[in-house]
Amino acid sequence: MLSEAKNHMLTRVGPGTPMGELLRRYWHPIAAVSELAEKRVKPVRLMGEDLVLYRTDTDEYGLVQRRCPHRGVDLGQGWVEGESLRCSYHGWMFDRSGSCVEQPYEDMVGSSAPFRDKVRVDAYQAVAFAGMVWAYLGPAPAPLIPMFEPFTWRRGFVQIILSELPCNWLQCHENAVDPVHFEWRHTNYIVRETDPGSPDRGPQHSGIEFQEFEFGLAVARSAELTTVLAAPVAPTSRLETSGIACLWPNVLYTGSNLEWRVPVDDTTTLNIVWNYSPTPTDVPAVEQDSIPYWYGPVADDDGEMLTSHILNQDFAAWVGQGAIADRTSERLGRSDEGVILLRKRLFADVERVSRGEDPQGVVRDPESNECIVLPLDKRQMYRDGVERAFFEERLERVFNWRLNDDPSYAVQFGQPESVRREFERAMGIGPDFLNLRGQLPDSASGECDV
């Protein structure tokens, strides 16, 4: 349980708020590179600030305030010229540093001291990395984007999934240190939905463990197999190989997935999944000139939250906690040890930032950023690919985790067919392979590594 003041501190993300200042010390992914390849100007909202992201002629990225300082027109309606963004109302133009570089009428009739020298827009850094466009809204100098181990792998197919959730970022991220929810929100929920009368249960947790390291909290657990059921998580894991960690300040890592909970504002979160599927060793490594992305819907046509797939089950739970979870009335138990550790770290880092120090997990040394090793089992599989038979068995297993016959990406609802086809080509599987796999019966107990 937290006081109202402390809950307020952890959840408010606008400029000048303690948590807003902490989160501004890190880079955050905010869009997919392929998205900006299709559409060069994209309005974005980030930590309560309305901004416009754009791609220049040299494939650099600009990120500036959304309102034109002239008379407030939306710069998201503007267009790119060279390295700058032009407002579509009277043609004022701003470069990536925020300087006004043209005011067509004023320049025509003006004096030798141009009016444009007195006008600026707020501007932030934005760069492309790992198929995503990242933003940094903090003070200079900006740190490095952490080279987490999965970004160094070259033997897999990557896709990026974006979803906007109508709730505060922290309740989403607390899920990263909450292993007991796997048992209930996923395994037992799937059993209940599939067969309401079934007495079956997934493996029951008998212990959870957390260990802080430089970049986050490694998560491990033990569980007892009460019945033989397909489970989306390994029944037991060790800290160093669990393959699950909460990374500072807002990332869930599960081996093949990195998942950011980026605050759009106090009551909206952009969930971005960077998903890596290792390819079978009998096909060549994938050369992805552009990494596919898609927006995953979170509700159906009636506005009901979707719960057919693992990530959608999580999304519905977080949104169900309210726009901003009320931590003044919660009753934390021993299953919440990780949640408590995460909050302690955030409070400590708020203090560090207020003293002018870097918070935990900020990287500035290029040498130590060549590859940030994370807890992981089966490292070789991710680096070198998987045997064909193992690949097929994993796909079948993961299809058991969703509650319909959708043959697309089984972990989140809504993968477009074009991305599914790209996946099939990369994996060397025919067009009906996933359809067929989508209909196969349950086969094996599983692990959260797909």
Residues making contact with Fe ion (CB under 5 A): 314
The least CB distance from residue 67 to ligand FES, in Å, is 8
Q: Does residue 54 touch ligand FES according to CB under 6 A?
A: no
Nearer to ligand FES, 101 or 147 (CB): 101
Binding at 68: pick from ligand FES, Fe ion, none (beta carbon under 5-8 Å per type): ligand FES
Nearer to ligand FES, 106 or 259 (CB): 106
Nearer to ligand FES, 66 or 221 (CB): 66
Q: Report the residue from 40, 70, 181, 192 that binds ligand FES according to the rule CB under 6 A.
A: 70
The least CB distance from residue 72 to ligand FES, in Å, is 6
Q: Does residue 73 touch ligand FES according to CB under 6 A?
A: yes
Q: Determine the residue with CB nearest Fe ion.
A: 314
Nearer to ligand FES, 79 or 89 (CB): 89
The least CB distance from residue 184 to Fe ion, in Å, is 10
Edge-to-edge, what's the strand order for the sheet holding 251-253? 204-213, 216-224, 245-247, 251-253, 257-265, 268-278, 156-165, 293-295
Nearer to ligand FES, 73 or 128 (CB): 73
Of 382, 412, 436, the residue nearest 159 (C-alpha): 412
Q: Does residue 92 touch ligand FES according to CB under 6 A?
A: yes
The least CB distance from residue 113 to ligand FES, in Å, is 20
Q: Report the residue from 87, 133, 220, 272 that binds ligand FES according to the rule CB under 6 A.
A: 87
Binding at 383: pick from Fe ion, ligand FES, none (beta carbon under 5-8 Å per type): none
Q: Does residue 90 touch ligand FES according to CB under 6 A?
A: yes
Residues contacting ligand FES: total by CB under 6 A: 9
Binding at 421: pick from ligand FES, Fe ion, none (beta carbon under 5-8 Å per type): none
The least CB distance from residue 74 to ligand FES, in Å, is 9
Nearer to Fe ion, 28 or 185 (CB): 185
Tokens of 345: 């770290």
Which positions lie near ligand FES, rule CB under 6 A? Answer: 68, 70-71, 73, 87, 89-92
